Structure formats: C-alpha cells, structure tokens
Amino acid sequence: MPIPDLPGASITIVCNKLNAACKTQLQVAEDMVVASLLVEPDGMVAPAISNKLVFTTIYTEYHNKVLGGNEPQIKMDVLVTASFSSSNYSEGLKLLDFAAGFLLSKPSIEIPTEAGHSKTIAISQVALSLAEQAQLWQMLGTHHRPSLLFRFII
C-alpha cells in the first residue's frame, strides 16, 4: 500500500537533506530551502519564499504497477528556483549551484516509509529550451528567476 503523501514527503525529505548540507558546508544558520508555491492562487507572490531556494512540484504522474511490483511509480517534475532579491542575487546563484551539485551527486535518495521500509527517489536534471522555459514561467504566472528542473521518480 503506498504512503498517502509520498510526493509531499519526498519533497520535504529532499529539502531537509539539502538544508542540512547547506548548514554544514555553507555555514548558514537558517533553513535556506523550502517547499512552496511560487505564487499563491490569488496571484500574489508566496510570502515564505523571499531569499530562499524554492522547490515547487510542477507536474506529477502516476503509473500502475512497475515491473512486477505492487505499488505505483510516481514521477514528479520539481522546479528548483532561486527566489532572491536583487541585492542577494549572487547569493541565490551560489545556493542554486550548490543545490545542483548536491542533487546531481546523489542520483538517488532513500526515504523512510511506514513499517521500517524505504523507497528510493531517483533524481535527474531535465533540460529545457529557452522557449520551454518561457512557457513554464508563463504557466506559473510569475516572472522568470534562475532555476533548474529536476525529475524525481519514486
């Protein structure tokens, strides 16, 4: 039986691991990585994303049983955005670069599930053309910010 909020739990665990790495390797005191919308449903910028690296799920796809398994496979496209003010722009780029290195150096991350089992999140980067990026940002209803797109397969 799948975990009811496996997509949300996966994003939270990856954000927590990245925050821990930031605190250890970049010597930052506060959490710099959040899972959030970029824009609230009313069109306003989400309040908790100022000067943060934001993980936003932009697409989720469920597949039936995977090669003899009993649980569905979940594919999520996750946009990782440096949402920094112009005065902190270089800090945002530094954090985005750190996140890219962190995620690409760990092509999979184990996440705990119920009853002591674990699932694996396979992580890969998705390249977008400039036209695809423009469409993505238009769909999100906000202005372009430095970002990378990753695919999580659980």
Residue 93 has a pLDDT of 95
For residue 2, pLDDT over 50 is answered with no
Are 2 and 146 in contact by the 8 Å Cβ rule? The answer is: no
Edge-first strand order for the sheet with 118-126 is 33-35, 52-65, 72-83, 147-153, 118-126, 108-112
pTM of the model: 0.86
76's CB contacts (< 8 A; 6+ apart) are 7, 10, 11, 57, 59, 60, 61, 151, 152, 153, 154
- Indicate the fold that domain 6-153 takes in CATH: STM4215-like (3.30.2000)
- In single-letter form, the type of residue at position 110 comes to E
Residue range 79-138, pLDDT digits in tens: 999 999 889 999 999 999 999 999 999 888 887 777 677 888 899 999 999 999 999 999
By CB atoms closer than 10 A (0-12, 13-18, 19+), residue 92 is buried
**Domain range summary for the chain, segments of one domain joined by +:** 6-153
